[in-house]
Amino acid sequence: MSDSTGRAGRRWRVRLRGRAAPQLPAATLVTRSTEPQVLTRDSAPPAAPILNGVDENLSPGIRLAAAWSWRLLVVAAAIAVFGYMVIQLRLIVIPLLVAVLVSALLVPFVGFLVRHRWPKGVAVAVSMVGTLLLVAGLITLAATQIADGSVGLRERLATSYAAFKEFLLVGPLQLSESEINNYLDQLWTVVQNDSQVFISGALSVGSSIGHLAAGLLLALFSLLFILIDGKGIWAWIVRFFPRRARGAVDGAGKAGWATLGNFAKVQILVASIDAVGIGSGAALLGVPMAVPIAILVFLGSFIPIVGAVATGIVAVVIALIFNGWPIALAMLGVVLLVQQVEGHVLQPLIMGTAVKVHPLAVVLVVAAGALLAGIPGALFAVPVAAVLNAMTSYISGGTWRSDLPPIPGTSTGVSSPIWSTVPQSRPGYGKAGTRASRASRAASTTTRTPGTTTDGEQHP
């Protein structure tokens, strides 16, 4: 039995060796290449690239640089158009940014009151009224201190002018009386020739006050609605994006909002330290109007690094006018000491941890904002840069791909009563309607007798 089986196996192997290998059709042969190719019997060979005498003579580096260049130009053009629109709408954008920045401080406070069983309307009213009273109190205190410190200001200015004139006469410049009078006459002539500028500026004060009042009302109105329905507003904004991008946009917005809140809280702490340091130094040196100087430094410190320096210079000038140059030099030393503490301790340890923006980037962003939009640009440059940094870091991190946050506005019901302005087509839409329909169905079921259908027929 085993011999017959072995002979049969040898015969089959001889037959297989004698057969020729099957020939594959030419169209099904796949050449070795870097990319997989799927060719069928009826597929045509790939078309040869069209030679134009330019592309084939360019190196891959030039092609890559050109591809990046036109894309960067398109991005730069989009940013330029957006910046132009913001500048044109600055009377609306600036109050809105102020409202958002203030709301980053007040929203946690309102949430704290609501968690302690305060009605939301009362919590919003208390936070807004308290903020207005605090700002009005600071302004009133500064105005009162300035009015009290300006007593005898004319005599002190005259004394300071006489001392400065004496310095010009006997100092290193060795100017004569006639030369000083000649320079003063030239300055007066320039003022008279440019008086039209001052007249037009005085005439534009009315429009400026009107713009300021309109901006204040717009900021208060925006702040009110952000405190009442900030989540609903954000959900409405997110719904403008494609559905697949809403998770990334929502997560990036929350990350930017958290960064903005940290910036606002930390900046208040840094501004308070600057104000207490410079104001205390002015009071110890006997510089008048120390409280207005501290308030001015507190407000100026909201422009990181640059604002406190500018307001400190005002303190030095006041010390020079009222106390002379030795006290002015001492005041300058106090300002420089406070700035060193802020730059080497507060900014790296507190601001850098909360905002995650390098101090060099802070200085460059503030300079660019001041160059493009003046004081408002310098004020909002750092928070805008910090928020954009947090949003881009969140999106590039990719955590939203695996753990998608809930998409605002996609749950059952309307997210906010403010945005429910369109009548719903289905009865019982939303949570309240669903509960009512369920209750009505339960009531109809309980009133039904056993063995009775909905049409009232009896069944055994």
- Taking alpha carbons only, the member of 297, 305, 365, 310 closest to residue 339 is 305
Q: Kindly report the length of the chain.
A: 460
Rounded to two decimals, the pTM is 0.63
Cα atoms in the 13 Å half-sphere on the side-chain side of 204 = 6
Residues of the chain with pLDDT under 70: 1-56, 149-153, 191-208, 304-305, 347-348, 352-353, 402-460
H-state helical runs in 244-289 = 246-284
Tens-digit pLDDT profile for residues 19-47: 544 454 444 444 444 444 554 555 555 55
Tens-digit pLDDT profile for residues 38-92: 545 555 555 555 666 666 677 888 888 988 999 999 999 998 999 889 888 888 9
DSSP letter for 244, please.
G
Token representation of residue 28: 């099904």
- Position 193 scores a pLDDT of 65
Cβ contact 160:321 at 8 Å: yes
The span from the CA of 368 to the CA of 364, in Å, is: 6
Hunting for tokens 């009563």 — which residue is that? Answer: 417
Question: In whole numbers, what is the pLDDT of the chain averaged over residues?
Answer: 74
Determine the distance from the C-alpha atom of residue 33 to the mean position of all C-alpha atoms in its chain, rounded to a whole number.
49
The span from the CA of 368 to the CA of 14, in Å, is: 87
Cβ contact 157:322 at 8 Å: no
The span from the CA of 126 to the CA of 50, in Å, is: 73
Long-range residue pairs from 92-97, CB within 8 A, at least 24 positions apart, any chain: 92/218, 94/215, 94/376, 95/215, 95/216, 95/218, 95/219, 95/222, 96/218, 96/219, 96/222, 97/376, 97/380
Q: Within a 10 A sphere around the Cβ of 55, how many other Cβ atoms?
A: 11
- Position 55 scores a pLDDT of 67
CA dihedral 158, 159, 162, 168 (to 10 degrees): -120
